Amino acid sequence: MISEGWCVVLELIVISTLNGVLFGMLLFLMASGLTVIFSMLGVLNFAHASFYMLGAFFGFQISRWVGFWPALFIAPLLAGALGAAVERFGLRRVHRNGHVAELLFTFGLAFAIEEIVQIIWGKSPVDFRIPASLDFPAFRIFSTNYPAYKMFMLLVSIAIFVGLLVVLKKSRVGLIVQAALTHPHMVGHLGHNVGRIFMLVFGVGTALAAVAGVIAGPALVTQSNMAALLGPILFVVVVVGGLGSLPGAFVASLLIGLVQTFAVSMNGSLAGAFGPLGPDYAQTWLSDIWGVTVAQVAPIMPYVLLVLILIFRPMGLLGTRET
Amino acid sequence: MRQWMMVAALLPMLGGTALAQETVKIGYIDPLSGGGASIGEVGYKTFQFLAEELNAKGGILGKKVEIVPFDNKTNPQESLIQAQKAIDGGVRYITQGNGSSVAGALTDFVTKYNERNPGKEILYFNYAAVDPVLTNAKCSFWHFRWDANSDIKMEALTNYMKSAADIKKLYLINQDYSFGESVRSAAKTMLKAKRPDIQIVGDELHPLLKITDFAPYVAKIKASGADSVITGNWGQDFALLLKASADAGLKVNWYTYYAGGTGGPTAIKQANLNHQVFQIAEGIPNLGYPSADAFEKALRAKYDFSLFYPRAVNQMRMFAAAAEKAKSLDPVKVAAALEGMQFDVYNGGGKGIMRKDDHQFFQPMYIASFGDRTEKEPFDEEKTGWGWRQAAKIDPEQTMLPTTCKMERPN
């Protein structure tokens, strides 16, 4: 017989783990594309989160016309096609002028996409609803309901993760992509059309981000600042995981998802940690940081992690080369 | 030919200045993008509606009222840039409401600007930023507030909670900035005096307008075993908090400042919290006053939202009355006329007064709960079928908290 107190703690842990894994998987859907694009093209795509936003808005618009389920497939295809076009007609031309130009190009693109989204859909949140068929509690843990839609989000992202793994490890295309990650010139010399592979990878990468957008749109808020809210965290994921490392991105996504969620559920502060042993001057001189709880600093945790990783392990958790 | 072109180029400019003299411009500096946009937009349309109402009666002193929007993205620095832009565009009156952090920056800016530019003074009408400091330590002659400040609201709310015996474990969740800070500290001090038996099981501050999924916070409220929550959250921070509670099946009583904001009523209905969410405000639909009902109907006929800012109605009508009384649109004279001005509040519920000492407006306040309606309650919210029901009315005299303001008036 477990006491009631432990039940509550257990409930909090289970729910927080579910929430953390879910957020982590969403991050991974985006980070996977970003990290592969980076290692192949050598460009940190600043506009990557914008494709996540485009996915959400395309999903919203298409689900208005034909319903949510077709939108789930059409919106990522559209965004992916757009991404491929950006690579083919934009990045490839800019590439001639070097990496800085490419970086600036993606940077500008992010702003352009945000402006265009604001022109078309306005600045306030749009009413992107969870489909009625998924709007019910999936199960109950002790006394907390867990929404079916969140389970659906989790399943979709896990399915895509497994699919990605199989394609990369088992298929011929995957082999070439893996080779191009480390030795793009050699792959070119062997007669593969490296340009087409790049376009394909860029398209698939942005489509994955768009999938994340379509499924996250109804659960979170679909508005024109959603790319800006999530973008910085994506870079943290990619750097912490190790640039160009897919398993690294996976581990880092889950790590950051869990760290952020669990930090919110903790109450500890410096004052609490030191208790009566805390020095007297702390209350007055350090009053600003002394009483701050872990929950309050939750949003900056990923960035603290970023700084620590860059100092102690610059290649990232599972990366193989220096950044 | 060339001369004609010069004239043609100059004509619109002349037209512009001629037009500027014919209108009273009010600069609306509030979020029109980002997390605060959903309510910033509602505020903007409400003010436009009120301007049209004044214009239909001939404007203020025969001049047309025009609301000029400036998007501050709920950011204090951006607000100052927008305020300067407004002033450069000929605005002498600015209004703002969302975010006491913004209000603090704006009131400093306006005070300094007026010191440096005598004869070109700007007035700042605050319709919703409720940090008490704005009419206490940081009060300014150029700032007028029509919303009851946070301490007044908490005083009324805790007086009501005093008699609610079913509150045993209370959770506080607020936005991490000056306003959220003042809500939680006022709640703690007042409840300690009025209901020492209530146990405070959680005291949370979260980032302002940045959270898109409150599920982790709701899990924590649940784990704390709270039966009631106090929150000053506004805009999407309230709607999303309630949405996450609905998803998790959290059943508690909510004591709030801004449950009626965009998305709030929908989330309450979704969470099925029938008359379990309370709000303290200076007005709600369904109070049964004929003039308020007529206004509500007219507003709803034009826009798809209800009146969330009764204070804005008082503000605009009092502005007009003060200008008529001063027979001038000079901000200094209007400010002098507003000081100590008594005014029948828009809904007919009684008199309000703009206290001279601190420029805080005192008015009847209402605590209301949200849920199913009787025949006497004609208005629902956001097409949920549910509406507001009065739970208590608090007269202005009972809300007259003392102020520490030492007002510096221009000579």
pLDDT digits (tens, 9 = 90+) for A293-305: 888 888 888 999 9
Across the interface, which of B38, B223, B248 has its CB nearest the CB of A125?
Answer: B38
Domain ranges of chain B: 2-148+292-362, 151-281
At residue B377 the predicted structure's pLDDT band, cuts being 50, 70 and 90, is very high
In a domain, A205, yes or no: yes
Homologous superfamily (CATH) of B2-148+292-362 is Response regulator (3.40.50.2300)
Which pair of structure tokens corresponds to residue A192?
């593969």
- Check B33 against A11: CB less than 8 A apart: no
At residue A282 the predicted structure's pLDDT band, cuts being 50, 70 and 90, is low
- Check B37 against A125: CB less than 8 A apart: yes
In a domain, A7, yes or no: no
**Among the listed residues B163, B210, B153, B156, the one whose alpha carbon sits nearest the alpha carbon of residue B183:** B153
| Residues in chain A within 8 Å Cβ distance of B225 | 8
**CA–CA dist A242, A285 (Å, integer):** 39
For residue B90, what are the contacts with CB-CB under 8 A and spacing of at least 6?
A: B20, B25
pLDDT of residue B201: 94
pLDDT reading at B1 higher than 50: no
Report residue A294: phi and psi, to 5°: -55, -40
**CA–CA dist A311, B3 (Å, integer):** 68
Question: B303 CA to chain A: closest CA distance, Å?
Answer: 16
What domain range includes position A211?
14-227
CA atoms within 13 A on the CB side of B9: 6
In a domain, A273, yes or no: no
B335-346 residue pLDDT tens: 999 999 999 998
- Does any CB of chain A come closer than 8 Å to the CB of residue B89? no
In a domain, A285, yes or no: no
**CA–CA dist A228, B89 (Å, integer):** 30
pLDDT reading at B13 higher than 70: no
**CA–CA dist B291, B314 (Å, integer):** 13
- Check B213 against A19: CB less than 8 A apart: yes
CB A61 within 8 A of CB A81: no
Neighbours of A185 (CB within 10 A): 9
For residue B146, what are the contacts with CB-CB under 8 A and spacing of at least 6?
A: B125, B126, B127, B311, B312, B314, B315, B318, B361
> Which DSSP helix (H) or strand (E) runs through B401?
none
- pTM comes to 0.88
Which pair of structure tokens corresponds to residue B369?
């709960």
In a domain, A183, yes or no: yes
In a domain, A271, yes or no: no
Tell me whether domains B2-148+292-362 and B151-281 share a fold: yes
For residue A79, what are the contacts with CB-CB under 8 A and spacing of at least 6?
A: A51, A54, A55, A58, A206, A207, A209, A210, A213
More confident residue, A280 or B276: B276
- Does any CB of chain B come closer than 8 Å to the CB of residue A45? no
- Does any CB of chain A come closer than 8 Å to the CB of residue B35? yes
The mean pLDDT value of chain B amounts to 91
A35-59 residue pLDDT tens: 888 878 878 899 999 999 999 999 9
In a domain, A269, yes or no: no
- Angle among Cα B47, B268, B154 to the nearest 5 degrees reads 65
**CA–CA dist B279, B285 (Å, integer):** 12
Handedness of CA B185, B187, B188, B190 (dihedral sign): positive
Cβ–Cβ pairs < 8 A, chains A and B: 90
> Between residues 196 and 235 of chain B, which touch chain A (CB distance below 8 Å)?
202, 204-207, 210, 212-213, 215-217, 219-220, 222-223, 225
B216-255 residue pLDDT tens: 999 999 999 999 999 999 988 999 999 999 999 999 999 9
Mean pLDDT of B124-147: 96
Q: Which residues pair with A140 in a beta bridge?
A: A145
In order of A63, B84, B96, B101, B322, the CA distances from B344 in angstroms are 49, 34, 23, 30, 13
Which pair of structure tokens corresponds to residue A305?
């992690």
In order of A8, A12, A209, B37, B272, the CA distances from A142 in angstroms are 8, 10, 34, 37, 20
Which pair of structure tokens corresponds to residue A276?
């009566």
- Does any CB of chain A come closer than 8 Å to the CB of residue B371? no
In order of A154, A235, A297, B227, the CA distances from A177 in angstroms are 26, 22, 39, 55
pLDDT over 90 percentage in chain A: 47
ipTM here: 0.86
Most A-contacting residue of B30, B33, B175 (CB-CB within 10 A), to test interface: B33
pLDDT over 70 percentage in chain A: 92
B33-68 residue pLDDT tens: 878 888 899 999 999 999 999 999 999 999 999 999
B249-279 residue pLDDT tens: 999 999 999 999 888 999 899 889 999 999 9
Q: How many domains does chain A have?
A: 1
Cα B390 versus chain centre, distance: 19
Phi-psi region of A131 (alpha: psi -120 to 50; beta: other; left: phi over 0): beta
Looking at 3.20.10.10, 2.60.40.10, 3.40.50.2300, 3.40.50.1220, the CATH number of the domain B151-281 comes to 3.40.50.2300
**Among the listed residues B49, B55, B50, B84, the one whose alpha carbon sits nearest the alpha carbon of residue B70:** B84
**CA–CA dist B195, B178 (Å, integer):** 25
In a domain, A282, yes or no: no
pLDDT reading at B135 higher than 60: yes
At residue B372 the predicted structure's pLDDT band, cuts being 50, 70 and 90, is very high
DSSP state of A293: B
pLDDT of residue B10: 47
